[in-house]
Structure 1
Amino acid sequence: MVLSQEQAALIGQVFEDYVLEHHRNDILQILQEGEEAHYPVVVNAMTLFEANMEVGEYFNAFPSLVIPVFDGALQKAAETISSSCHSLQGTLGVKPNLHARISGLPVCPELTRDHIPRARDAGHFLSVTGTVIRTGTPKLLEFQRDYMCAKCRHVFAAQADFEQHYALAPPTRCPSPDGCTSVKFTCLQGDMAVPSACRDYQEIKIQEQVQADGGLE
């Protein structure tokens, strides 16, 4: 599934308008911080979905596609706020690592679980109730590599495959919209020992909550 340009534009515009109305102060504070860190803007899902139910439906159906659109809209909102604050121009800077964090999901069967999620829940954005009984060591995960086509010089990103344990397979064909069919590419990361596009992650073990009668929910 791929969002159409019209769908992505709708989602992005709704989210940009929403954060400008509800999170202007949060973004303004972030704009005054350092450049290198990652900054979350925590958005309440209930309030967002009430503002536009259609965006809520897209988010529930395709969260992995919608969240990057949210992040892009958040960047645009930050640029708008930065350019409008003339008295603080010298102290504000749009951060490259702004992230939308969705919380407060509605309590409904589609979005909440009181048991450990099953295989059929993979790819869904869920609220899970349970007790964390073990946490792993935080690690870095390389999720993307940038390549350049040797023929047309088109630069593009190859994403790690979640279903293949985040393996980063080299591209097989140039994805240029101009129709290039080259199969030769240069990795822009080169021989760098440290990957350039990483996320931190941590494995956790969750135990289902125990009911009053002694059984598991």
Structure 2
Amino acid sequence: MHTIEDGTGRAAPPGLRERKKRRTRDTLIRSALELFALKGFDGTTVDEISDAADVSQRTFFRYFANKEEVALAVQDSVESFFFARLRERPATEAPLTALRNAVLSSWDSVGEAIESVVPLELHMRTYRMIESTPQLFAAHLHRLARLEEELAEEIARREGLDVRTDPRPQVLVAAFGGVMRVTGKLWGERGNAGLEELRKITTRYLDQLGPALAENWRN
């Protein structure tokens, strides 16, 4: 998420121009997701999204490169929100603990962040659409791969390691990312399950990650 600083290191309120740009972007996202829910991803055109948002196609392309990008915009914000929470975790926390706590602390306010752009129910429908649309799912996985690289670099920084020579940050983040993808898939398969259900599933599976990596399963 983009923030502006006021010269003291604190986030400052955006100016009028930035607020207008944010409103236009949010309107495009909301219009696109509503159309996707109504007509499907493949059945919706950029022209229709632009018309619904009452802007030109040229304006659409100022904000988004294509339909995939606007479809993934809220999910991208959620992931950026999580990454910011990880950077705030105390340096004394072990890597897996920091990742787990960053996820769980995100739940306290990520719902409000989503609803500032689209209704939560629409976001959940979009998440399921991403999971079931091959074109979107491929784009989603590509973005997640980049996010995992950034997470591994952050873990390495926290631990004073070189991610290029020490494989542990990448191995840990790969395992963590796998858990997150599994829990998202399970949540999506439950149909009308809400965000609180996703939190419960995620917590349960993250709690199994350490034991699954460390323990002898045959005992």
Interval containing the TM-score (normalised by the shorter chain): 0.3 to 0.5
Structure showing greater relative contact order (alpha-carbon pairs closer than 8 Å, 6 or more residues apart): 1
Instruction: From the CA coordinates, give the structure whose radius of gyration is larger.
Output: 1
Structure with bigger helix share is 2
TM-score, normalised with respect to structure 1: 0.33
TM-score, normalised with respect to structure 2: 0.32
